[in-house]
A and B are shown apart, each in its own frame.
Chain A
């Protein structure tokens, strides 16, 4: 176990005191027969240990692609990272060779996916899939690996873990499968966990179980969590900070209390007023007119301008709005953020 651990620590340039994760100006494009789709156009964010960062956005905004680029599991071709850096403790992961990157994956940065049934291998038992991690990454014996796997399943509260270790993914319910996947992601004690819509396919009561489990495991391990979701309710419950993405850009970044109380970007503001609330009746749902742009034809200037109530000539022209500093640790890509937030 320790020699492999040691190998990771000699990652060139690794600085334990540096920022846990820093994504700067990340660009990802998909080169297809129908032209180039710009899925991510300059994503920026940083993550601290123990912190939960939510990346919020609708389908096609580039949130999942960002996660895949950080993990290095982008389908390439057609996907390419064309610019930017992903720094883990000072090391730019995008510059690493594949063999080195593999040591980071699961060891340092792990990921859980939306659909556990398709993320798990249907022809191997969950015990085998879990044990594989320990055997390949930690060089454990079959027996030790099995023992550790049972412990892990216990930790994610799978009842009768010892008996269920030989079961196949289809024999578990949706919530249980998601627990197996969490166990798998946490097996090697990563410092960062990326959860891509972890509860979207689950019922609300199961969602509450899974989010509670994630929060508890995160606290125990002081892990940084990136939660990718479109659900503004889940975000309000668990996140510390939020990055709102639209058309491949982080349009607003802010601490969770500020963003819900006083959104600074028109898109965030419109999203918040378009969701019905459980604890209120009779509110008028405001509508964001139109559709998100196609990623191979993103409008000039601010990508949101065709749907925006605040849009003026300046918004329709390049250069697109920079990330204005709204407050300490808070940015918004809108020329008129003062007006949106209600300062003027």
Chain B
């Protein structure tokens, strides 16, 4: 398809575990991301959800090239970012930018807002000539709803929500096609969250951006995403459009995750299907054989330990689901 702007194939990232101080020997690996295939189309928002430690932030870093994958490819506009070197890589990176989670630590406290937002132009001077940069930065501030007159202020003079807007302006500076948002609103208060979500949505309409929206808050993802990928222990266990994932989830992990999210409506109390998972997520250094979710799954049988279920469309699942016993179950609404 021609309108695919980003595609990953078999993306893997293993972090080595070493032992010894002088002679380091490799004793294992943390399988943070273990074979992820994603597709992002133009103008689309792909939500990636999962709990802490499932590899979603590592995935974000792989996509923008902050980490080198152990295996696999990241195609941005039909160029393999993993293979590119030097000037070609730098030019390709222009098209994929990132908004980071914590607006308190992701902005250099010693740089003015103008310098922060203008820094991408230093690296990619072809985007805006030196003369027009101040004007460009002011326009960006205006675009994200900040006062262009504040160009010489420092990050500490802004509130959390405003800082996140600065981070968004920085990501927009190079007019990218794709923005990877790694938990962009989770550090913000609810009333501020809505402002930032609305801003991201209106920017998407205005500039035709494609988003990878990584978050642990399933309600926020439902609001903003067109398609959703659910991750567990480094793998995508289920993908589909919003309707399929939220109304007809077929993977037990997705069902458990959704049923655990409280809905702000007391009338639903005790009337929703509650699935409480036992135990904790296993260590990604030593994931279970076969299906990685089987240690916490109520449907697990012998086959789950022996054979890894592939992420594919199944008889009882109209969208790709990595479960041998995939079956839709409504966990959101009162039963």
Partners in one complex: yes
A278 & B198 in contact (Cβ 8 Å cutoff):
no
Q: Are B260 and A208 in touch, CB under 8 angstroms?
A: yes
Interface: A326 (CB within 8 A):
no
**A279 to B249, alpha carbons, bound, how many Å?**
13
Does any Cβ of A come within 8 Å of B310's Cβ? no
Task: Pick the 10 closest A-B CB pairs, nearest first.
Answer: A233-B262, A276-B223, A208-B260, A203-B51, A274-B194, A288-B191, A58-B189, A232-B264, A285-B194, A279-B332
B92 to chain A, nearest CB (A): 33
Interface pick from B15-23, B29-37, B93-101, B274-282? B274-282
Question: Known interface pairs A260-B264, A260-B266, A276-B220. Does A270 touch B191 (Cβ–Cβ under 8 Å)?
Answer: yes
CB neighbours (8 Å) of A58 from chain B are 189-191
Known interface pairs A175-B280, A236-B263, A260-B264. Does A275 touch B159 (Cβ–Cβ under 8 Å)? Answer: no
Which listed residue (A159, A256, A272, A291) contacts B161, Cβ 8 A?
A291
| A-B CB contacts (within 8 Å), total count | 128
State which residues 142-167 of B face A: CB under 8 Å: 159, 161
- The answer to the question of A323 belonging to the interface, with a C-beta cut-off of 8 Å to chain B, is no
B242 within 8 A of A: yes
B162 to chain A, nearest CB (A): 8
Q: Which of A265-298 contact B (CB under 8 A)?
A: 270-272, 274-279, 281, 283, 285-288, 291-292
Q: Which of B189, B222, B246 is most buried by chain A, counting CB atoms within 10 A of its CB?
A: B189
**CB–CB B274/A236 < 8 A:** no
| A188 at interface, CB cutoff 8 A | no
Q: Does A212 contact B (CB under 8 A)?
A: yes
Chain B residues within an 8 Å CB radius of A236: 262-266, 268-269
A residues apposed to B, CB below 8 Å: 58-59, 159, 173, 175-176, 203-209, 212, 230-237, 239, 256-257, 260-261, 270-272, 274-279, 281, 283, 285-288, 291-292
Find the A residue at minimum CB distance from B256.
A205
* Residue interface mask B166-194, A partner, CB < 8 A = 1: 00000000000000000000000111111
* Pairwise interchain contact A281-B261, C-beta atoms closer than 8 A: no
| Chain A residues near B192 (CB-CB < 8 A) | 291
| Distance to closest chain B CB from A125 (angstroms) | 20
A205 to B333, CA, bound (A): 18
B window 245-274: CB within 8 A of A: 246, 256-269, 274
Give chain A residues whose Cβ lies under 8 Å from the Cβ of B243. Answer: 281
Q: How far is it, in angstroms, between the C-alpha of A260 and the C-alpha of B265 when the chains are bound?
A: 7
Closest residue of chain A to B330 (Cβ to Cβ) is A279
| Contact of A234 with B262 in the complex, beta carbons under 8 Å | yes
A274 to B223, CA, bound (A): 11
Q: Are B194 and A288 in contact (CB under 8 A)?
A: yes
Please classify how large the interface on chain B is, using the bins under 10, 10 to 19, 20 to 34, 35 or more. 35 or more
The interface residues of chain B lying within 8 Å CB-to-CB of A207 are: 260
CB pair A276–B265 under 8 Å, yes or no, is no
Pick the residue among A230, A234, A278 that contacts B218 (CB under 8 A): A278
Given A233-B262, A260-B265, A278-B258: A204 in contact with B191 (beta carbons within 8 A): no
Q: Is B52 in contact with chain A by the CB < 8 A criterion?
A: yes
Known pairs A175-B280, A257-B266. 4 more at Cβ < 8 A? Answer: A237-B266, A275-B194, A277-B264, A288-B194
The 11 sampled A-B contact pairs (Cβ below 8 Å) are: A205-B256, A208-B277, A233-B262, A236-B264, A237-B269, A276-B194, A277-B222, A285-B194, A288-B191, A288-B194, A291-B159
Closest to B220 in A: A276
B14 within 8 A of A: no
What residues of A have a CB within 8 angstroms of the CB of B266 in the complex? 236-237, 239, 256-257, 260
Q: Check: B314 CB closer than 8 A to any chain A CB.
A: no
Shortest Cβ distance from residue A290 to the other chain B in the assembled complex, whole angstroms = 9
- A206 to chain B minimum Cβ distance, whole angstroms, is 7
A260-B266, A285-B198 known; A233+B261 contact, CB < 8 A: yes
A206 to B260, CA, bound (A): 8
Task: List chain B residues, Cβ under 8 A from A209.
Answer: 276-277
